[in-house]
Amino acid sequence: MSDYTDVKVSSFESHPDRYRHWRLEVSGDVATLKMDIQERDEGQAEDEGYIRKLNSYDLFVDIELNDALNRLYFERPEVRCLVVTSAKDRVFCAGANIPMLASSPHAFKVNFCKYTNETRLALEDISLTGGPKTLAALNGVASGGGYELALACDEIMLVDDRSSAVSLPEVPLLGVLPGTGGLTRVVDKRKVRRDLADYFSSLAEGVRGKRAVDWRLVDSTHKLSVFPQQVAARARALADAVAPVVEGAGRGVRWAPIAVEVSEAGDRAYPSFAHPQVLLRLSTSRRAATLTLHAPADGGPTTAEGIEALGAAWWPLATFRALEDALLHLRFNHLDVGTLVFETRGDQEALMAVDAQLEAHAGSWFVARARHYIKRVLKRLDVSSMTLLAVVDEGSAFAGTLFELVALADRSFMLDDPKAGARVRLSAMNFGPFPMGNGLTRLACRFLGEPETLAAARGRAGEALSTEDARDLGLVTFTPDDIDWEDEVRLALEERSGFSPDALTGMESNLRFAGPETMETKIFGRLSAWQNWIFQRPNAVGPEGALKAFGSPRRPVFDWDRT
């Protein structure tokens, strides 16, 4: 991608056969991801766009990385250690491509940082949930986002060649901040003393050698002559410390491509218009979109072996893969869509049967990993910059796992009409397996000051709850009757479309994460504040700002007033 002035992302999927920037190698239970970023796009003229020098990355590099992580997690469950390194000599990664950031629109900068953050957090989640432990083998300089990628790994090894260093040089060089969790991970995760972290983060050249180890910026450093052997030995030790989830290779499931059909109006149907599992419809007049999820025809296989045989076609995994693709499509390609409305259709009994399998076979490596994948997709929704509304009416199937869409919505509407018979159901999936970034379930976050209400809701799990039941339990926001139903939903959409998008994003981000602060909520909360403010300030992106001046002989011109 050589021009970000009007970026559209055609696909958020890839495949190792099509990787241009990564090499994925698997040897037994150890995998290696080598960053080998191509400077130019295929067919890009020398005088066109930007080039990715020194393994500097952009969105499409991250899309490949996300694909590689998912493939390892599902296709190669025998892998117990992942080594992340560089295929280039004397450089690991120079971080996000600065000309890309300087030339891209503000909204793209923010969405790029958000996607990159989600990929880093997925790397950590995979390690925490039975997947491979991760080792960053820094065989050269790791600066900015390159060091932030290393920080997301379990351990960091740095080559000692008298020049390789780790650094977060955004403040001294670019007038911005490390946007993918760098500062937070340095002090929260690696427990670097904050005075040392202050010095480190204002030092453009970074820190290397023994000092980097002493300050806990890396775990170890080794001479170039023995670095490969030390990396291999440490990877072997990390792999040996992880219990195997499968015996031998070949037990994984194929990470098949997502099927999608796009209409002339831009609506998207997964897997086809004939029988859509997930349907995304756009409403440009309301600056809104409706996402309809369809329940399966039945509960599917009842054994772990039968579920594993379905692989990526298993309903929960296939549905949430489609949901994630639709969400990313909206995020990058439809910035004007400010409100996302959730609808569901189908058999609630079938959904409850699926949830029973999700619970009963949690010990299965495949089911466990599918659950964690669903958790990560729901977290993408939690940090969405769109208003999220859930509409529960006749024929809705907000049951169990799909009820999470009601629980995460900013507002929900449930039809109060005995003839329509709208119902919702809770299951064990709503009380633990899918925590938010703050560590709480969505219902626990909703009832933060009402533990007795949370207990009452748990006690009604499995029941088909009427509108009156849902209202009494606090599970929905509003319950209009059939006379007021259409008007109340319409007015909510019209009201939302008339407010400032910036103010709504800030308001919703503040309200969604009640309760304890965690490293993850800090990363996204600070991302929203830092990038939405600093990335719009002239000191960073103005004609004489640091991002514009980077790589040129001129120095940036700053407004020295502190605000």
Pairwise pLDDT comparison (220 vs 527), residue with the higher score: 220
Instruction: Kindly give the pairing relationship between strand 166-167 and strand 140-143.
Output: parallel
Do residues 266 and 299 both lie within one domain? yes
pLDDT value, residue 388:
98
Do residues 381 and 449 both lie within one domain? yes
Pairwise pLDDT comparison (223 vs 10), residue with the higher score: 223
Do residues 235 and 265 both lie within one domain? no
User: Is the pLDDT score of 449 beyond 60?
Assistant: yes
* DSSP string of 50-108, one letter each residue: ---GGGEE-HHHHHHHHHHHHHHHHH-TT--EEEEEESSTEEEE-EE-HHHHHHS-HHH
Choose one of 474, 504, 534: the last residue of a domain: 504
Instruction: Kindly give the pairing relationship between strand 95-96 and strand 155-160.
Output: unpaired
Choose one of 455, 473, 504: the last residue of a domain: 504
Half-sphere exposure of 330 (CA within 13 A, CB side): 30
Could you report the per-residue pLDDT of 533-542, keeping only the tens digit for each?
788 888 888 8
The band of 41, judged by pLDDT with boundaries at 50, 70 and 90, is confident
What percent of the chain is modeled with pLDDT above 90? 80
Do residues 52 and 189 both lie within one domain? yes
| Number of domains the chain contains | 2
Do residues 291 and 364 both lie within one domain? yes
Do residues 177 and 285 both lie within one domain? no
Which residues are CB-contacts of 219 (< 8 A; sequence separation ≥ 6)? 155, 156, 157, 213
Do residues 71 and 192 both lie within one domain? yes
Do residues 139 and 89 both lie within one domain? yes
Could you report the per-residue pLDDT of 78-129, keeping only the tens digit for each?
999 999 999 999 999 999 998 888 888 888 988 999 999 999 999 999 999 9
The CATH number of residue 229's host domain is 3.90.226.10
Which residues are CB-contacts of 85 (< 8 A; sequence separation ≥ 6)? 32, 33, 34, 35, 92, 136, 137, 138, 139, 231
Among residues 188, 117, 185, 132, the alpha carbon closest in space to that of 380 is found at 117
Do residues 413 and 471 both lie within one domain? yes
Q: At what angle do helices 106-128 and 59-75 cross, to 10 degrees?
A: 20
Residue 546 lies in a domain: no
Nearest-angstrom CA–CA distance, 537 and 386? 23
Q: Mean pLDDT throughout 339-352? A: 97
Q: Mean pLDDT throughout 66-70? A: 97
- Rounded to 10 degrees, the C-alpha dihedral 467/470/472/474 comes to -140
Could you report the per-residue pLDDT of 460-486, keeping only the tens digit for each?
999 999 999 999 999 999 999 999 999
Residue 347 lies in a domain: yes
- State the average pLDDT for the chain: 93
Choose one of 187, 210, 240: the last residue of a domain: 240
Three-state secondary structure readout of 172-227:
HHHCCCCCCCHHHHHHHHCCCCHHHHHHHHCCCCCECHHHHHHCCCCCEEEECCCH
Nearest-angstrom CA–CA distance, 282 and 274? 18
Full-model pTM: 0.94
Domain containing residue 266: 261-504
The band of 155, judged by pLDDT with boundaries at 50, 70 and 90, is very high
pLDDT value, residue 97:
92
Taken as a whole, the chain contains a residue count of 563
The band of 1, judged by pLDDT with boundaries at 50, 70 and 90, is very low
Could you identify the residue written with the tokens 């990385």? 65
Nearest-angstrom CA–CA distance, 335 and 338? 7
Do residues 294 and 417 both lie within one domain? yes
Could you report the per-residue pLDDT of 282-328, keeping only the tens digit for each?
997 789 999 999 999 999 999 999 999 999 999 999 999 999 999 99
pLDDT value, residue 272:
67
pLDDT value, residue 524:
87
Could you report the per-residue pLDDT of 162-182, keeping only the tens digit for each?
999 999 999 999 888 887 789
Residue 216 lies in a domain: yes
Do residues 289 and 154 both lie within one domain? no
